[in-house]
Amino acid sequence: MSTTATMGDMANSAVEFYPKGSRGSTAGGRRADGSHAGGDFGVTVKELRELMELRGADALQKIQDSYGDTEGLCQRLQSNITDGLSGDPGDLERRCQTYGQNFIPPKKPKTFLELVWEALQDVTLIILEAAAIISLGLSFYQPPNKESEMCGESAGGAEDEGEADAGWIEGAAILLSVVCVVLVTAFNDWSKEKQFRGLQSRIEQEQKFTVVRKGNVIQIPVADMVVGDIAQVKYGDLLPADGILIQGNDLKIDESSLTGESDHVRKSADKDPMLLSGTHVMEGSGRMLVTAVGVNSQTGIIFTLLGAGEMEEDAKEKKGKQPDGTVENNQNKAKKQDGGVAMEMQPLKSAEGGEVEDRERKKTNVPKKEKSVLQGKLTKLAVQIGKAGLVMSAITVIILVLYFVINTFVVKGRSWLAECTPIYVQYFVKFFIIGVTVLVVAVPEGLPLAVTISLAYSVKKMMKDNNLVRHLDACETMGNATAICSDKTGTLTTNRMTVVQAYIGDVHHRVIPDPGLVNPRTLDLLVHAIAINSAYTSKILPPDVEGGLAKQVGNKTECGLLGFVLDLQHDYAPVREQIPEEKLYKVYTFNSVRKSMSTVIRLPDGTFRLYSKGASEIMLKKCSYILDANGEPRSFRPRDRDEMVKQVIEPMACEGLRTICIAYRDLSPNPEPDWENEAEIVTELTCISVVGIEDPVRPEVPEAIRKCQRAGITVRMVTGDNINTARAIAAKCGIIHPGDDFICLEGKEFNRRIRNEKGEIEQERIDRIWPKLRVLARSSPTDKHTLVKGIIDSSVVEQRQVVAVTGDGTNDGPALKKADVGFAMGIAGTDVAKEASDIILTDDNFSSIVKAVMWGRNVYDSISKFLQFQLTVNVVAVIVAFTGACITQDSPLKAVQMLWVNLIMDTFASLALATEPPTEALLLRKPYGRNNPLISLTMMKNILGHGVYQLIIIFTLLFIGERMFNIDSGRNAPLHSPPSEHYTIIFNTFVLMQLFNEINARKIHGERNVFDGIFSNPIFCSIVLGTFAVQIVIVQWGGKPFSCAPLNMEQWLWCLFVGVGELLWGQVIATVPTERLPCLKEAGLGLEPGEEEGEELAEDEEEIDCAERELRRGQILWFRGLNRIQTQMEVVSTFKRSGSFQGAVRRRSSVLSQLHDVNTISTPSHVALSTATANTSPAPGNASGESVP
């Protein structure tokens, strides 16, 4: 995956970190080409840039020729290899001036005017504008008086001279309302982009990196790094600048983001010391000298070539502006959100092509790409409604024109006169405008807006709940989650490790032993083994507050062990001072395969000593000796080992402790061992001690897990720990309950069960395991990925599972990417994990995931509320305009009024209903499922029920309203006639009914109390009241532009009475049981806007009763039959062509994704998988072993 773009992002934050003045002074143009002399430094930008383009031996040769060695280069850069820079602000400023800042200037955001221009591209708006302009032009044409009688009643009627001159008002008003709609849309887009950039810069500010300054190890924002800094790199880092390795332990780098090579590259100070920005540290640790930052780093150079780092002059011009985070950090997930089969991880980019197009894609405006399940469903729905609207509006126009032509020229027998043409054309334009207005009201352009507002609002609020959302769609997918695979350490537990038990010198101590009880030699070995064989970045600092807990910095397990040393009344610091990091002879760093860490040191007598620590059952297999009570090694046979596992390790594990074994081995210097042959070195060890480390469960986790289970979400624990430890913690958390039917497996056993004789993974085998699996222990990252993929691809349950995964390590990347929603840990997580995730948990806490579920469900509900409201308005407005036009030759709702209604229901309603805060009640129902129709039966009932009420009222008013209110009829009014009270009452009643129905729309599951919690949403209250106030103004003083005549008090009260009737009618509708309305069943399915046919069948809605289940079962069987035939034909035709099996596999997966998981397939699915695996050697970018097109 391309991480290069992220670099730009991380650097963007520089704008925040630097005072305005200091940035302007950067003489950008001069330093970009390196012509600037190296300030007071002994090396120029140009020389450093040329140096960083070399690799391996060439680079070493160049360093040797030009600077003697790395230390020489370090001196020229006025830095110190051990103490780093002085950190003096003047010096840092000078470095920024000379070598630039670690900041890549972002792309400019779209201006407000550009957004206005984009909003104007809307087809319906263009049609309206054209119609309005024609209408405007024609209204100024006045035929000579004597012909006007001959042109029929066109010009006559109730007009007086003043009114005839006001014909232009309607055209102008339409134009004005178009302007309003455009401005509102543009403003929404603008604020959306602004929010997105705010989010980006928030993500960037989180980015910190460890450097050494004045001999102290400190963390600074990535943007503050300068050339000459000494940076510490460790497992999981994303390198923010180019540099040269000074000292490294077992360092391996993934450079695929720059070179496209998927193999990890070994780096060492004496073979290949060049470290490049944008690459990932996959293993080991080390220290590097920063040699290039920002636009001069490798990533920066690529960006500049791509034009993303618009040259420095621009940066100078806009130095005061906010940064634009839209250079996509988000490497949008390669997931086909709509299919039942989610896409595999992206194949690795080839060196040039893929990379460039990847970045090109990133450079385009970000928010548009985030098309989620929900947005997919909505777009389809909007298109369907739009089509219906188009047909309605076309019919409306045709009927109006025909009626007019027949009435004027056939019935009244008039002939078409040349001078009357403009008047007739004006009639036609009026009809056309009515038609377009029907279309405008029918097209729910508020849908995308509602989604955006709802997501943006949720994302903003989720920040407060410790969820930093990186991909907008993740927020809503989370609401449908059915399974969560969580890590144990740090997520379910507090990640504060303490040693509570120890086995030393043949004695099992249940509490930390008194140092006097332990043999001094054993104690000394133990202290050295812990102090030396743990990362020197792990340490224990005094507490922040008096009497508080000591601060643990670095790896928490190592901190637990160091704390153990302190508890034994010894200190690890003197040991580390005596043997500094540079003196370590060889380090085998911890990784998920080894599950151990070893360090070799040279003793004063020239012999070597290896210290090793790791998971106890793995380490004990490598031990041949153990220290007895006198500190003397005695032999340790397999029989002793089994005894120890039973007596010591299992009891510790059953109390939920992690067991760690600490051992050592002495090696002779001649012949010097082959350090690369790890298996030969780390064996025949002598066990010093086994310790039990406690990591208590977070107090809020059991409650959070209970909420998940109540909400229909299965929580599974996937951990690298011992199975007994894992089981004990799972029971404490409430993941497993005594007496339940569940299984807990170790990684090995899991793999044995899911693979066939050839060692290939079979989906059917996974399907037998995962529904009951609750704990997967001693698992590797590959196991985690296999499990997640197996659950997602499974078709044993009728609903496609939506899986969320938490991860913190570099190797969790594949699983995080494969999952529907990946959560990375904000505190313990590595950069690589954050990069692959959708949401970052800023407090690493499981209970924050539950909040994410709540927000996700809330988004879905908000959209449904809006849909319910909007569709009611659409149906009513379109039918009224259509029938009104057909029967009375004029729409009772005028164009401008329709646009106002459109504004209320689209923009304002989406704001009001999309910002409802979530409630705990959302967690009391099961997930909707991926393939649920957006419009449930209850909603369908509400839409039709309220539609019927509104239509009855409006038609009653239209045809007998003048008699009820004793006013003049507004029907059949001539062109340009003044507004009538009659039509004003209809318009007013219509709007008030919508306002009260908006309150009804707050509930979508048939609840009775629609006012419940209404005051917790001030936006909703203010919008409803605001709309009401504006409506009063429009009716009383809108006059000709709005075609309104002022109403008196009595008329207003009647309108209000009918409006309030909506609330009462809502209660009547709620009383009618949904099951009693069989006619809705089909409609509920028919309106299904989702993916393919057969999709609606896969849900299990709350409202479904037996009859409907039967109906669905029939359909499911029918689809299964069809699908079987289709699959078999596919296979046969493939073999006929003797083409590669891959095509069939690929095609079949697309068939599957269309028909979703309803179908079970007659051919065993493992054939597909295994063949695919054989066809492609799974590269890391495609670790899943699926065939890559």
Give catalytic residues, as residue numbers.
Answer: 487
Write the CB contacts of 1117 (distance below 8 Å, at least 6 apart in sequence).
none
Contact between 4 and 302 (Cβ < 8 Å): yes
824 DSSP β-pair partners: 807, 840
Contact between 586 and 599 (Cβ < 8 Å): yes
210 DSSP β-pair partners: 219
CA atoms within 13 A on the CB side of 137: 8
Write the CB contacts of 135 (distance below 8 Å, at least 6 apart in sequence).
170, 171, 174, 426, 429, 430, 433
Q: How far is CA 651 from CA 655, 720, 738, in A?
A: 7, 18, 19
- 1061, 1062, 1065, 1070 alpha-carbon torsion, rounded to 10°: -150
Gap between the Cα atoms of 869 and 1000, Å rounded: 8
1143 DSSP β-pair partners: none
Gap between the Cα atoms of 218 and 756, Å rounded: 51
Sign of the alpha-carbon torsion through 768, 774, 775, 779:
positive
Task: Tell how many helices (H) and how many strands (E) occur in the chain.
Answer: 46, 26
Q: Of 588, 576, 468, 1143, nearest to 834 (Cα)? A: 468
Name the 3-class secondary structure at 713.
coil
Q: Of 883, 879, 888, nearest to 980 (Cα)? A: 888
- 359, 364, 367, 370 alpha-carbon torsion, rounded to 10°: -60
Q: How far is CA 448 from CA 185, 372, 738, 910, 928, in A?
A: 11, 11, 47, 9, 21
DSSP label at residue 1093: T
Q: How far is CA 454 from CA 3, 372, 459, 627, 1024, in A?
A: 29, 13, 9, 64, 18
Residue appearing with tokens 């618009």: 310
Q: Of 456, 479, 484, 445, nearest to 373 (Cα)? A: 479
DSSP string for residues in 1108-1176: HHHHHHHHHHHHHHHHHHHHHHHHHHHHHTT--HHHHHHHHHHHHHHHGGG---SS-HHHHHHHHHHHS
Gap between the Cα atoms of 659 and 965, Å rounded: 87
Write the CB contacts of 1118 (distance below 8 Å, at least 6 apart in sequence).
none
